[in-house]
Amino acid sequence: ASVLVLNGPNLNLLGTREPGIYGSETLADVARRCAQAGERLGLAVDFRQSNAEHQLIDWLHEARERIDGIVINPAAYTHTSVALADALTAIAKPVIEVHISNVHKREAFRHHSYVSPIAEAIIVGCGTQGYVLALERMAVLLEKGTK
Ligand code: DQA
């Protein structure tokens, strides 16, 4: 099975961006952890990041036939993008939403997510380990044949 791991805006700055909130691991470190988890779980992991809403949506459209599940940290687009949520809905594959920080402990505008209503699961506040947890859960969902 193959899983698209998508990362939204500013996550390219991981490791240097507000390390008190997001930790010191870089996005390359996270990509490596996801690749390792993928090998262990028998999942082909396609790991990507973009700062552009249209790029994330285009990647989802392209991956539509090819992938079995989506792990996504939509970053700030979580709280703003109906378009991204619509693209995820259109694909009809299991989605797991990840946030490195505990968004519910932070500003009120981070408490609402356009993605959560369509997600099978949501992992918040587990740091970058959240990506690995999401892949572990995705392996179970895909084995069970959910969706
Ligand atoms: C984030 C939380 C969002 O509110 C924020 O805009 C991000 C990162 C997280 O991983 O904790 O860019 O998605």
The pLDDT of residue 119 is: 98
CATH architecture of the region 2-144: 3-Layer(aba) Sandwich (3.40)
- What residue spans define the domains of the chain? 2-144
Which helix (H) or strand (E) element contains residue 47? strand 44-49
Cβ–ligand 1 contact at 81 (below 6 Å): no
Where b means 16+ CB within 10 Å and e means fewer, 29-45 reads ebbebbeebbeebebeb
ipTM score for this prediction: 0.99
CA of 53 from ligand 1 middle (Å) equals: 15
Question: Is-contact 126 133, C-beta < 8 A?
Answer: yes
Cβ–ligand 1 contact at 123 (below 6 Å): no
Amino acid identity for residue 103 in this structure:
V
Instruction: Tell me if residue 22 is catalytic.
Output: yes
Which atom of ligand 1 is the closest one to the Cα of 106? 4
Residue 10 known to bind ligand: no
Q: Is the confidence at residue 123, as pLDDT, over 60? A: yes
Instruction: Output the residue whose Cα is nearest ligand 1's atom 2.
Output: 75
Cβ–ligand 1 contact at 134 (below 6 Å): no
Q: pLDDT band at residue 147, thresholds of 50, 70 and 90?
A: very low
Residue 101 known to bind ligand: yes
Q: pLDDT band at residue 145, thresholds of 50, 70 and 90?
A: confident
Q: Is the confidence at residue 146, as pLDDT, over 80? A: no
The per-residue pLDDT for range 37-96, each reduced to its tens digit, is 999 999 999 999 999 999 999 999 999 999 999 999 999 999 999 999 999 999 999 999
The per-residue pLDDT for range 12-30, each reduced to its tens digit, is 999 999 999 999 999 999 9
The pLDDT of residue 49 is: 98
| Residue 105 exposed, middle or buried by CB count within 10 Å (0-12, 13-18, 19+) | exposed
Which helix (H) or strand (E) element contains residue 139? helix 129-144
Q: Token pair 């505008």 is at which residue?
A: 109
